[in-house]
Structure 1
Amino acid sequence: MSFPQVEAFRGGKNLIRVVGHRGARGVLPENSMIGFDFTLSIGVPLLEFDVVLTADDVPVITHNHRLHAPTFRDASGQFLTGKEPKVSSLSFNQIQQFEIGRLDGHSDYGRRFPDQAQLDGVRVPKLQDLLDLINRPEYGEANLMLELKSDPDLAHDAAYLDRFVTCVVQQVRAAGLSDRVLLHSFDWTLLEVCQRQAPDMPSSYLTQLPENADDLGEDSSKAVCPDFRGQSEKIPQMVKQAGGALWCPYFADVISEDVALAKELGLCVAVWTVNEPADISRMIDLGVDAIVSDYPGRVQRHLSDLGMRWV
């Protein structure tokens, strides 16, 4: 079965797709409406972002399961300190009391993105806000790589997983966008739920080998991702057997044989998260279908200099 939203991420001759990671995290606040709008406006119609469920079952766009201290500021303008509250313990209205438009430059996380603009008045968006944005006529080519963030505390709670997927899928369907959305996760069990509920929305399988270090200041994928020790060369086959249409590996894990095998199996290959020029060049040389980046403009520049396209 051919899915139009998979083909939107598939490359080709002189074509590698560019995917804005959390919008364009390197230059604008991550998972923000201004970041998404910017990325679409520069001719990058593919977005990757994270969805978590609030206490009142509102799908919101944020990466960590707890309010992220280096990016969340309270009503007094101070970055959070102490124990970070879980998104799932707060209502959407409570989460709206916090701003996410600045980075704490004194934190390890903040030092990773020295070029990110610092803005006020930016708040956690609902999934519905982004669906409304890409339903605008000028963004009719936009497609979404929607990551469902599986809570390790609830990963074995079948009722929770079912409710989470239902809340997301219902909103996508109501917006008329089921043919422009990939359902994307490290949690392969959660993706099984997605396939049962939404067989028309293809599954994108995120992977990371256990030997690679987690990114500073971010929730680890390893609590919910399968343990691939001793079977890394079989991952494309495992994705295909699980019903995946797209494989999204960590870029440092990938070698040319992996990409070749995945493509033989008919999988689309999108690598995350590629920011440094040398790494971008290596992914281009490997012939991946898509490059997910915090700096989509950097990838555009590399492709442009090589006479290649991204749309």
Structure 2
Amino acid sequence: MMAFQQVEAFRGGENLIRVVGHRGARGVLPENSLIGFDFSLSIGVPLLEFDVVLTADDVPVITHNHRLHSASFRDGNGLFLTGEEPKVSSLTYEQIRQFDIGRLDGHSAYGQRFPDQAQIDDVRVPRLLDLLDLVDDPKYGDAHLMLELKSDPDLAHDALYRENFVRRVLGDVRGKGLSSRAVLHSFDWNLLAECQRQAPDMPSSYLTQLPDNADDVGEDSSKSVCPDFRGRRDEIPNLVKQAGGSLWCPYFADVTPENVTRAKELGLCVVVWTVNEHEDIGRMIDLGVDAIVSDYPGRVQRQLSESGFRWQ
């Protein structure tokens, strides 16, 4: 299998575990926002994980849910959305950029998960191109992107949808000359097969989550598009390798000494998501994963430092 230089940016080593800013630094700044990405980069965390969805006019934008998230989207009057949340795919980019994503509704169950997130006005959903422009700045020349293609459950079995989605994303990445600094990342293994078909020069990162784990409050579930690995936890690294994966990105609660060891024997880079609590960060350090994805990258930096580890 081809060796990809992009993978090495995420691979750990002796006394080295990488830190990946999840949606920028969701714990402290608006998620999937340019200000959050810039913050993560500025504190020495050059690895970014984020979500891409297509608008009605085929613009790749960076947002997690397939519908405008009522807990974080405010209308032109500064009010959080109520009622049925419109799908991103039903709105043009110009329509989506009318909404402000700089605050969280503290009365919502989702907002209560992130009490330390700063509240900022006039923050807009960025295009993928906007983030690519940011990391193209020479001062961020070491930045690498873990670009999650969010598979729409309503269209997951539509081959034309998959082809167009991947083509639009690759058009942006290649247009900026940044394919050597990007990893294509998804729960949808069919979508990753399309990525490999269109971009054999870019590595695939296979997200997984066992179905018995609870979904995160206020977020789209991956379970409708992710393969069901019930009872096959320690086989997953073999399946990722067989599918052509270079990185395995499991939910942190699903990793064991056995499957981490097996993944590394296969040459896979093991990147665990999303690890925020000190006890869980410590367990991931003890397991020797390659990289830790976190909403609080500074928290992981500090714990790594106190444990005698580097992150760069």
TM tier, shorter chain?
over 0.9
Q: Following the alignment from structure 1 to structure 2, what is the Cα–Cα distance between the partners of residues 225 and 308?
A: 33
User: Any idea what the Cα deviations from partners look like across 1:137-161, whole Å, max 9, x if unmatched?
Assistant: 0000000000000000000111011
The one-letter amino acid of 1:139's match is: Y
The separation in 2 between residues aligned to 1:138 and 1:106, in whole angstroms, is 39
Give 5+ residue unaligned stretches, structure 2.
none
Moved over 6 A (4+): none
Aligned to 1:237: 238
Count, aligned residues: 311
Q: Which residue of 2 aligns with 1:227?
A: 228
TM-score by length of 2: 0.99
- Is 2:32 the partner of 1:26? no
Partner of 1:191: 192
Cα distance, 1:170 vs. partner? 1.0
Residue equivalent to 1:180: 181
Partners of 2:39 and 2:232 lie apart in 1 by 39
Asked if 1 retains the 8 angstrom alpha-carbon contact of 2:233 and 2:259, the reply is: no
Q: What is residue 250 of structure 1 aligned with on the other side?
A: 251
- Structure 2 contact 27–114 (Cα < 8 Å) conserved: yes
CA distance in 2 between partners of 1:41 and 1:113 (Å): 21
Kindly indicate whether residue 78 of structure 2 is the aligned counterpart of residue 70 of structure 1: no
1:112 corresponds to which residue? Answer: 113
Q: 2:124 — aligned with what?
A: 123
Alignment of 1:1-311 (within 5 A): 1-311=2-312
Partner AA of 1:280 in structure 2: I
Taking the aligned partners of 2:256 and 2:77, their CA distance within structure 1 comes to: 48
- Cα separation, 1, equivalents of 2:290 and 2:233: 20
Per-residue CA distance 1:236-288 (angstroms, 9 max, x = gap): 00000000000000000111111000000000000000000000000000000
C-alpha separation in 2, matches of 1:4 and 1:299: 24
For 1:105 and 1:79, the matched residues in 2 are separated by: 11
Give the deviation of 1:182 after TM superposition: 0.2
CA contact (8 A) 2:263 2:270 kept: yes
Secondary structure of 1:151's match? coil
Contact map agreement 2:109 2:217 (CA 8 A) in 1: yes
In 2, Cα distance between the equivalents of 1:100 and 1:279? 29
- Structure 1 residues 34-72: Cα deviation after superposition (integer angstroms, max 9, x where no partner): 000000000000000000000000000000000000000
SS of the aligned residue for 2:20 comes to: strand
Following superposition, the deviation at residue 2 of structure 1 comes to 1.5
Q: Secondary structure at the match of 1:71?
A: coil
The percent of aligned pairs where both chains have the same amino acid is: 77
State the TM-score, normalizing by the size of structure 1.
1.00
For 1:212 and 1:286, locate their aligned partners in 2 and report how far apart those are by CA, in whole Å: 20
- Is the partner of 1:72 in helix, strand or coil? coil
2-side partners of 1:269 and 1:307: how far apart? Answer: 20
Cα distance in 2 between the residues matched to 1:229 and 1:26? 30
Opposite residue 284 of structure 1, the aligned amino acid is: I
Per-residue CA deviation, residues 210-256 of structure 1 (Å, 9 max, x unaligned), is: 00000000000001000111211100000000000000000001111
Secondary structure in 1 aligned to 2:51?
Answer: strand
SS at match of 2:45: coil
Corresponding letter in the other structure for 2:27: G
Secondary structure of the 1:124 match is coil
SS at match of 1:214: coil
What secondary structure sits across from 1:108 in the alignment? coil
